[in-house]
Amino acid sequence: MKRIILLALTNFAVVAVLFITWNIISAVFGIRVQGGFGGIAVMAVIFGFAGSLISLLMSKWMAKRSMGVEIIEHPRTSQERWLVETVRRQADKVGIGMPEVGIFHSPDPNAFATGANRNNALVAVSTGLLEHMNADEVEAVLGHEIGHVANGDMVTQALLQGVVNTFVIFFARVIGMVVDGLFRGNNDNSGPGFGYYIGSIVAEILLGFLATMIVMWFSRYREFKADIAGADLAGRQKMIAALRRLQRVHEPKDLPGELAAFGISGGGGLGRLFMTHPPLEERIAALQGMQ
């Protein structure tokens, strides 16, 4: 629940900062958006995609900083050499550029992939994953993450977030105009009033939660595809074994923020509608049903 609220508030904060910045620039330079609903739509597209695209471009840098990822530039142990070579072999098999490979310190078994370009991505695994899983299971997890990269999931996620942000911003502003009109009545004073700002903010928060449901649904759908990729690259039984290993680990913690969408395991949050990952038993059943 806390993670979902944090995601919604972060998304709202990015849009709010852009909105305030635009208002300051408009006031200083006398810029006015004309065209009624058309003008609102243009601004909604700009604000809606700006935050998601900026996050996408900064995703690798943010992941390294927030998770403390140590990039394996020169392997020092046999395990690090095996990790790099396994990722290299899988990347060559799916036809993408060699991702950066890293390790982050966490007792929980997890991994994630991120990056704005499928040929310049990052794949990182936790120390807990290396401790809890054997080589076959780690290979399957790496295949799952390479599947995210090869499928372009990071870019698709950013574009989807941009689209839903656009709709949220547009309809929130329209609702704000309606609320403002109700407060003003027959008063034709120029410029938005207090009701517009209050109505827009409240509508944006509520619509933002609905938009999050859409993004989370796509995240769950994408996990099945990444599991199939892991099965293709490492073997179906290895992928099933890796997921079963996650089941046996006592309540593994989810990754923070948007990295949760590209991890190997995920939490429940506020019911199924806000889950980043399908239940592990459903993912295992889907792999078992593969022809």
Q: Provide the pLDDT for residue 55.
A: 80
Catalytic residues: 145
Rounded distance, CA 29 to CA 171, Å? Answer: 27
Residues in the chain predicted with pLDDT less than 70, given as ranges, are 1-36, 185-192, 250-272, 291
Global pTM value: 0.79
Rounded distance, CA 278 to CA 188, Å? Answer: 51
Q: Provide the pLDDT for residue 136.
A: 97
C-alpha distances in angstroms, 114 versus 63, 110, 192, 256? 8, 14, 41, 13
Among the listed residues 256, 264, 223, the one whose alpha carbon sits nearest the alpha carbon of residue 68: 256
Tokens 């656009």: give the residue: 166
CA quadruple 124, 64, 217, 50: dihedral, nearest 10? -150
Q: In which region does residue 254 sit, left (phi positive, over 0), alpha (psi from -120 to 50) or beta (all else)?
A: beta
Q: Provide the pLDDT for residue 200.
A: 85
Instruction: Answer yes or no: are the C-beta atoms of 195 and 179 closer than 8 Å.
Output: yes
